[in-house]
Amino acid sequence: MNRRIERRLLIILTFGFFCSFILVIHNSLQVPETSLDSSEFKQLNDKLNKFENSLIQERQELEDLQLEVDRKFALHPHAQIKKNLDLPLKPWLEPIPIVVFACNRPVALREHLRKLISFRKDINQFPIIVSQDCDNTQIKSVVVEFGENVQYIKHISSETARIKVPKEHRQFAVYYKISRHYKLALGHIFDKMGYSSVIITEDDLTVAPDFFDYFLATRPLLEVDKTLFCVSAWNDNGVPEFIDQTANELLYRSDFFAGLGWMMTRDFWQEIGPKWPPGFWDDFIREPAQRKNRSCIRPELSRTGMTEFGQKGASGGLFFNRHLKRIFLNQRPTNFNQLDLSYLLKQKYDSSFLTKVYSIKNAS
């Protein structure tokens, strides 16, 4: 678009110089004095003046248009990527809380917290916060066992709040309770506690040894690349036969939101929080209206895994035995903070991806 504007301006300016040259030649010609007052010359002079004014106006419009193009391009996510494309990703220094969603599974929560704390290197960098919306008193007792290592938030339960569920969705009431819980917890983390990002886990998950390193290293990507909206620790296709179990450093951009251990920013919350759905929050995030052609980062080897407690979750064991429990959990720690992850920025990633795709030989 910039080149079209430049060509158009060049043509107009060239034509203007040509007309000015004709006018100068005309004025220098030896013509009868009477011709200076002739109607033909007056008409020509008026036309030249009119053209000159038109040229000035056209040039001003082109300059205004160029400014508008530059302004809009500067606001576009791709412009921000280009601006940061060759700059090293700065280490993330702000704290990133881990919010653990819990309800009524104290044994599962205890195991999950033990695993998190065993791999956490810095309590200030990664504060752990348990969020509960059920009235099971054992959950708080489990949190108390961990002392200052874990914080606790208790919301008014869905039963006490008597949430409304559409008649046609009565069998899915648990998904409305979960969606409400997410809204309350995320609102508390971002709006009340003021954090800039959060890692979301649930009590039926386990984590890999490099779980924290993975999220700390990928957090800067969400800051500089606005074509990303989340980082997930889960690979939905991460069963052993579909992955390279040696590729523990390999990360991808994905158009699918997987969840099950994921990170989001306050900016994204401010965007989707006001229209948060009463139920089925994960399907809501996957909708085009929310995703807006943005992607998530996800690993080749999952950094979260599903424990046996997942059989008794909201889905009632659905899909658990055949798939969820078979997802391969990475066990070889990777220091992601020592890696250059700028290849995941959209322009670099797309260019590399297309090169790989078009270099593949035809199968038939």
Q: Name the token pair of 315.
A: 């889905």
> Would residue 282 show up in a list of annotated catalytic residues for this protein?
yes
The whole-angstrom separation of Cα 261 and Cα 6 is 50
Q: How large is the greatest C-alpha to C-alpha distance in the chain, in angstroms? A: 110
Instruction: Provide the pairing of β-strand 197-202 with 98-102.
Output: parallel
Q: Per the structure block, which two tokens stand in for 86?
A: 């060759």
Helix (H) or strand (E) holding 122: none
Residue of 255, 282, 283, 340 marked catalytic: 282
Specify the pLDDT at position 216.
Answer: 99
pTM across the whole model: 0.77
Number of Cβ atoms within 10 Å of the Cβ of 307 = 17
The region that residue 158 occupies, defined by phi over 0 for left and psi between -120 and 50 for alpha, beta otherwise, is: alpha
**Domain map of the chain by residue range?**
98-356
CATH topology of domain 98-356: Spore Coat Polysaccharide Biosynthesis Protein SpsA; Chain A (3.90.550)
Neighbours of 347 (CB within 10 A): 14
Token pair for 259: 């969840």
Phi, psi (deg, nearest 5) at residue 298: -145, 155
What is residue 8's predicted lDDT score, i.e. its pLDDT?
58
pLDDT in tens, the chain (364 residues): 455 555 555 555 565 555 555 555 555 554 445 455 677 777 777 777 887 788 788 778 877 777 776 666 555 555 554 555 556 789 999 999 999 999 999 999 999 999 999 999 999 999 999 999 999 999 999 999 999 999 999 999 999 999 999 999 999 999 999 999 999 999 999 999 999 999 999 999 999 999 999 999 999 999 999 999 999 999 999 999 999 999 999 999 999 999 999 999 999 999 999 999 999 999 999 999 999 999 999 999 999 999 999 887 665 566 788 889 999 999 999 999 999 999 999 999 999 999 999 999 888 7
